[in-house]
Structure 1
Amino acid sequence: MPNSFVMLDIKTDGVNAELQLPLSELQLAFGHDVAQNSGTLVARLSPELRAYLLAHIHAVSADGRAWTVTVRDLRVQPVEQSASGPYQELTAHLWLQPPVGVSTKDFTLNYDVIIHQLVTHKALVAIRQDWEKGVYSEQPEEVGVIRLDIPTGTILPLHINQSGGSMWRGFKSMVSLGMQHIAEGTDHLLFLLVLLLPAPLLVKEKRWGAFGGTKYSVIRLLKVVTAFTAGHSITLLAAATGWLRLPGQPVEVLIAISILVSAIHALRPVFSGKEAYIAAGFGLIHGMAFASTLANLDLDTTRMGLSILGFNIGIELMQLFVIAITVPWLILLSRTGTYPYIRIAGAILAAIAALAWIIQRVSDKTNFITDLVQQLMKYAPWMILLLGIASIISVSRERYGRKQDLNRL
């Protein structure tokens, strides 16, 4: 049978608790028509459900003082994927408020929802967010299971102790989260890399020409990367702090469009000399996508500020790492006759991926191209290795060819 889940978000002034209660089990303990008419459950029995939860959930501080528990909202939703098959559950959001001056890091949770009547039931408790210990919703940390203790015949309380965290630990976790976000953000990296594809090249007769030199290439690369960083940093700050809000779907579609635009530019110069402005403009869009990760953390001003700084540093570190292991090979290849083929092939593949993402994000349905891109990203290190080998072989062949020509002369 399905279990209950208790997800805790540790804040500085209290604890958010999300209960996920299977209706079939709740009906046996609650004693009302719960599972058969679930669509109207909250409208019919909201006061009774709130009273029931408050009667079976208590939090106590380390010195024995009781916390205030408030039920904020209730809703019914389906659970499609589980070991026990699909079912419906009641999701309840509660606020656990400690007495003034009491830490939210150390308390005892007295909980027997459903378990007081259904002795085979159990509640899995996890910390979903504790900023100072580096725990956030993407990596919940299980802290215990509440169930009937057979030897004593009682439901033992669960002691929650999250002490040991620090501001530094929380900051480091945000740096790691930023690095992870970019490492897994194929679309963000693809936009930047495709925009950098023609950066080492000169423009001749409205077409991409020969290699412009190392200094020329490095300056153009730095301008593009710096502009992109400035753009996404501005909207990351604005969106994460709540100053700017846009629906997620349009932002994701615009990100895919940015890849398509940069791919067209890599095929033929559309905005030659203005790459930095394009990078900054689309960076504003990418920053709003970055901010969605932080906006849901609901932190106080100090911790949000540190989170934005750490997350942004993580993004930059991972971007610089990817650029450092790919761009030198692109600069090396751009000196050879092989580069036009690689540039065109890369631009076409990026354009196909961008179009597939646009279709997916507009229709909200995956397609085989987007699935293929995700599968190919698992082999990204090998692709970079092949790029390096190809660049070394191409440069060596051209040098050998020039040497042969000189010998003939």
Structure 2
Amino acid sequence: MRYYLLLLICCVFTLDARAHPMPNSIILLDIKSNGVAAEVQLPISELELALGHKVVPGPALQAYLLEHIHPQSLEGKPWRVTVKNLYIQPGGQTYTGPYNEVIGELWMEPVEQTSVRNFSLHYDAIIAEVNSHKALVSVRQDWERGNYGEQTTEVGVIKLDVKSGTIAPLIVSEEQGSLWWGFRSMVALGMQHIAAGTDHLLFLLVLLLPAPLVVRQQRWDGYGGIKYCLMRLIQIITAFTIGHSITLLLGALGWLRLPGQPVEILIPVSILVSAVHALRPLFPGRESWVAAGFGLIHGMAFAGTLANLQLDTTRMGLSILGFNVGIELMQLIVILLVVPGLIWLSRIPTYKYVRVAGAILAGIAATVWLTERI
């Protein structure tokens, strides 16, 4: 009876261990034009077990990493490795509870002009001392292949081969990309950003709600005619495009930086102002100036997506152009779908109720977003 009880207990602990494995290291690779940026995530519990002492980010830990990371070309020519940054952050969760990890940001560069897309990664940090440890390697960003960091691609696992007692290098072999492929992916990203960015579209649509109408006695009145309507729509859309294009360019190049939260807060503010204007004219005849002004704010929100890519000048220029083309294409699609119905509705008396209902719903949505972001 005791034997079966002991066996049951062992099985339970074995299942629990399988369900909550000890943390492994993670290596994320960003393929650049002249080298590879790597982010190494080392669980502190395992690292301290390997080193035999408490971990403190500093020169000693930097030297340890450099001693255990040796990328080289497939011809055997070593690369130059530099540790850019070391810090500690919260990691994941295991059966023993949450754990912290050391983050090492490295730059790996071929000494000679060899391919940055095909190389062998000799790596044995922690694994050399803790034989059960593994390093999971993935490509996080590869702009020329259309991978801009939204999802990672697994490359392989570095671990000890128990039979031979050796740690084999991992061969990283990425398919060849192109500038055109990268540009095309940025166009798609721009379209996706607008399609998923309800707040950006809502601002523009609410600002367009009263565009076909004329103002009389400080109130929105009837339809102003097809020429009047089209001119106003074109002015508003063009002004918004110019506004967000300017700050997208400045922000993506790092020439203009604003904290993220104020920018995110000002976007629902812009919707709220446009909603009030759709109910009663606040700035009649000056909608294009308001669209341009708030477009500057929306452009800063767009720029954060590109600034994080950390690309060289050529690829960043193509990214800005492609991303902006994608934004404009998606805006154009939405406008072509909405504007004909907007012009038709504005010619009938019941448009007043459509305008008021749209403005109120947009105002409610903006208030909710504003509260959340504050």
TM-score (norm 2): 0.90
The equivalences for 1:317-332 within 5 A come to: 317-332=329-344
CA distance in 1, matches of 2:325, 2:95: 39
**For each residue in 1:97-156, what CA deviation from the matched residue of structure 2 results, as whole angstroms up to 9, or x when unmatched?**
211322212111111222223333222211122211111122222222222334544322
2:48 maps to 1:27: yes
The amino acid across from 1:136 in the alignment is: Y
SS in 1 for 2:207: helix
Conservation of the 8 A alpha-carbon contact between 2:248 and 2:320: yes
The amino acid across from 1:20 in the alignment is: Q
Which residue is equivalent to 2:212?
A: 200
CA distance in 2, matches of 1:326, 1:318: 12
Which residue is equivalent to 1:336?
A: 348
SS in 1 for 2:275: helix
The amino acid across from 1:88 in the alignment is: N
Which residue is equivalent to 1:13?
A: 34
- Are residues 262 and 83 of structure 1, via their aligned partners in 2, closer, same or farther at CA, if it must alter by over 3 Å? farther
**For each residue in 1:293-341, what CA deviation from the matched residue of structure 2 results, as whole angstroms up to 9, or x when unmatched?**
1111111111111111000000111111122222222222222333222
Which of residues 58, 77, 102 is equivalent to 1:90?
102
Which of residues 302, 306, 319 is equivalent to 1:294?
306
Structure 1 runs (4+) deviating above 3 angstroms are: 80-85, 149-153
Conservation of the 8 A alpha-carbon contact between 2:117 and 2:176: no
Unaligned regions of 5+ residues in structure 2, if any?
Answer: 1-21
SS in 1 for 2:150: coil
TM-score (norm 1): 0.82
The amino acid across from 1:16 in the alignment is: A
For the aligned residue pairs, the C-alpha RMSD in angstroms reads 1.8
Which residue is equivalent to 2:169?
A: 157
CA distance in 2, matches of 1:56, 1:246: 39
Q: Identify, as 1 or 2, the structure richer in strand.
A: 2
Instruction: State the aligned residue count.
Output: 353
CA shift, 1:186, in A, is 1.4
**For each residue in 1:208-243, what CA deviation from the matched residue of structure 2 results, as whole angstroms up to 9, or x when unmatched?**
112223332222111111110011111111111121
The equivalences for 1:5-84 within 5 A come to: 5-34=26-55, 41-42=56-57, 46-79=58-91
CA distance in 2, matches of 1:318, 1:65: 47
CA distance in 1, matches of 2:61, 2:303: 36
State the identity as a percent: 64
Unaligned regions of 5+ residues in structure 1, if any?
Answer: 35-40, 363-409
Conservation of the 8 A alpha-carbon contact between 1:30 and 1:52: no
CA distance in 1, matches of 2:86, 2:102: 7
SS in 2 for 1:64: coil
CA shift, 1:58, in A, is 0.6
CA distance in 2, matches of 1:81, 1:190: 39
The amino acid across from 2:203 in the alignment is: F
Conservation of the 8 A alpha-carbon contact between 2:134 and 2:158: yes
The equivalences for 1:365-380 within 5 A come to: none
Conservation of the 8 A alpha-carbon contact between 2:146 and 2:182: yes
CA shift, 1:81, in A, is 6.4
Which of residues 24, 28, 47 is equivalent to 1:3?
24
CA distance in 2, matches of 1:25, 1:60: 26
